[in-house]
Structure 1
Amino acid sequence: MPRINHNIPAMVAANTLMRTERQLSKSIERLSTGQKINFAYDDAAGYSVSEQMRMETKNLQMGSQNIENGRSLLDIVDGGLKEIQDIVNRLRELAVNSANGTLTPDDREYIQKETDQLLEEIDRISNSTEFNGNALINGDAPWGEGRGGKLHIGSGFDSNTDIFYIRLHDMQVHEDGLDIADIDLSNPDTAQEAIGRLDQASSTITGELANVGAFGNRLNHAARNQASMTQNIIAADSIIRDTDMAEETAKRSQLTVLHNAGVSVLAQANSFPQDILQLLQF
């Protein structure tokens, strides 16, 4: 029944139009940002879960960066060890040569001079092989003492899953390292003894190269696992937070039609009081 004081149809149409406008505004916001959760009040539970996933993703990405740094460190160690191995192989050649009775004392003197220079070079390589200012294969802390250097590869603080240690052998020529500092190739007897010590030094280097290779292989697997975890978490976060563009576009089209219809209906509802005036004409 038409009334003058309260235009109920217009009020209903206005409220419906306001609700549609809010929904349309939210739909446009989701389409423009690409996210269906832009504020915590959009979905408090979803927002909380999404933020935790994003924090986990950043931590995993940092762990992946740490892994890459660890791989770079091991590459440097590998290069230093191989160079020392080549020098030890050369020293063994010289020892075998010096042990031969056909050489003269002068020949052995020249061999000893080369030997002394090569031993000094081993120490130089051991002390100069470093990463970010930290010496790696000269027995210094942290990589050459205790449990060794620490690599934090995970996203948490669990010592069993997020952290592991690498200890690298001292590759200097002194007794605590390769123990070849005092080898004497100036006579056949001491040269013969040096061959055995150089073989032991070569075995030590080979073993350390194997350890470095094992650590590197472990880091490769860790890197792939981190990448897989990061990808899956990002995918899960996307489901929670990102806009389904096809669905939202269809919804916006529907809301646009409803909005236009609401404007038209409100205009008609506002005209109802004018119709009542026709009843008052007499």
Structure 2
Amino acid sequence: MGLRINTNVASLNAQRNLRGTRLGMQQSLEKLSSGQRINRAGDDAAGLAISENLKAQIRGLGQAERNAEDGISLVQIAEGALGEVSNILIRLRELSVQAASDTIGSTERKFLNVEFEQLTSEIDRIANSTEFNRVPLLNGTGAVFDIQIGTRNDPISDRLTFDASSADVNVAALGLNLASVADKISAQNSLSSIDQAIISVSGIRADFGALQNRLQSTVNNIATSIENLSAANSRVRDTDVAAETANLTKQNILMTAGTSVLAQANTSTNSALSLIQAASQG
């Protein structure tokens, strides 16, 4: 190759390669520092679209999981209250059995009836005060809860519906509004009413228990989906640290070599100048 003064092709070529190497180093450093292989659409347009869609699914499922957990909290609140109502009913039955016997007198029955009335009032209080997010759960006036457990708008697969109005444990709803142990006959008649109330409350508790089990299964399934989608998104978007570190090492070597070559290429102009000087002196 001839020596030229105006255009140093070797130097221009070395500079071009160095610019490419420097850009590669910058990209490698960005990927390693951010932990992401795709930081902008230019890195991988198709991969970015896939990753953004996966992120949207993951975020949506995360909220659906929280919704299901809130549903479990609702059930636990209702179950705690129903458990206490069951305990009260068992105590009411015990008082009725005691008052139905002639082994106690009217004075003792009066005392038993005071407790009986206090306990029935407590059932009403529990029924009317048990709420979730200000919505009654156990007095028959509650709303229909739609629990969004999916990321789309399918009412069957993405939504779980619970009708709180079907759960009513007020004294009247349980058939205990006329129950009493003020006398032996009333106490005897109260036994069957209390037994039926216990069955009713147990049925409501069974419904809540089934709902809780379903919600727990939903939470477990969503958690598995989030894990799998997160792994898929990581494969698409995250940096392979080992591979990118090797690439950075390669770029460093190329930068060192390119800098040396550029310096060498720039000496060709000096060689041409030396020839001119030698010719002029000759």
TM-score bracket, shorter-length normalisation: over 0.9
1:51-71 CA distance string (max 9 Å, x none): 111111111111111122111
How far is the alpha carbon of 1:41 from its aligned partner? Answer: 1.4
Which residue number corresponds to residue 177 of structure 2? 181
- The answer as to 2:55 corresponding to 1:54 is yes
Quick one: distance in 1 between partners of 2:187 and 2:113?
10
Quick one: distance in 1 between partners of 2:50 and 2:193?
61
Q: SS of 1:108's equivalent?
A: helix
Letter aligned with residue 165 of structure 1:
T
Which residue number corresponds to residue 6 of structure 2? 5
Quick one: distance in 1 between partners of 2:227 and 2:25?
33
Which residue number corresponds to residue 129 of structure 2? 128
2:222 to 226, 232, 236: 226
* More moved, 81-90 vs 91-100: 91-100
Which residue number corresponds to residue 114 of structure 1? 115
Quick one: distance in 2 between partners of 1:194 and 1:134?
32
Letter aligned with residue 255 of structure 2:
H
Letter aligned with residue 211 of structure 1:
D
- The answer as to 2:31 corresponding to 1:18 is no
1:201 to 188, 197, 212: 197
Q: SS of 1:41's equivalent?
A: coil
How far is the alpha carbon of 1:134 from its aligned partner? Answer: 2.1
1:78-117 CA distance string (max 9 Å, x none): 1100100011111111222222233323332222222211
Letter aligned with residue 157 of structure 1:
N
- The answer as to 2:145 corresponding to 1:149 is yes
Which residue number corresponds to residue 156 of structure 2? 160
Q: Is the Cα–Cα contact under 8 Å of residues 117 and 180 in structure 2 kept in the other structure?
A: no
Quick one: distance in 2 between partners of 1:278 and 1:187?
131
Letter aligned with residue 10 of structure 2:
P
1:249-275 CA distance string (max 9 Å, x none): 010000000011111111111111221
How far is the alpha carbon of 1:247 from its aligned partner? Answer: 0.6
1:190 to 182, 186, 190: 186
* More moved, 235-244 vs 64-73: 64-73
Quick one: distance in 1 between partners of 2:58 and 2:201?
39
Quick one: distance in 2 between partners of 1:64 and 1:47?
25
Quick one: distance in 1 between partners of 2:142 and 2:184?
39
Quick one: distance in 2 between partners of 1:115 and 1:167?
31
User: Percent same amino acid among aligned pairs?
Assistant: 39
Q: SS of 1:42's equivalent?
A: coil
Q: Is the Cα–Cα contact under 8 Å of residues 142 and 163 in structure 2 kept in the other structure?
A: no
Letter aligned with residue 64 of structure 1:
E
Letter aligned with residue 240 of structure 1:
V
Quick one: distance in 1 between partners of 2:275 and 2:109?
132
Which residue number corresponds to residue 67 of structure 1? 68
Which residue number corresponds to residue 245 of structure 1? 241
Tell me the matched-pair count: 275
Quick one: distance in 2 between partners of 1:256 and 1:185?
93
Quick one: distance in 1 between partners of 2:260 and 2:103?
114
How far is the alpha carbon of 1:133 from its aligned partner? Answer: 2.2
Q: SS of 1:271's equivalent?
A: helix
1:235 to 211, 231, 248: 231
Quick one: distance in 1 between partners of 2:265 and 2:114?
109
Q: What's the C-alpha RMSD, in Å, of the aligned pairs?
A: 1.5
Quick one: distance in 2 between partners of 1:116 and 1:48?
67
Unaligned runs of 5+ in 1: 143-147
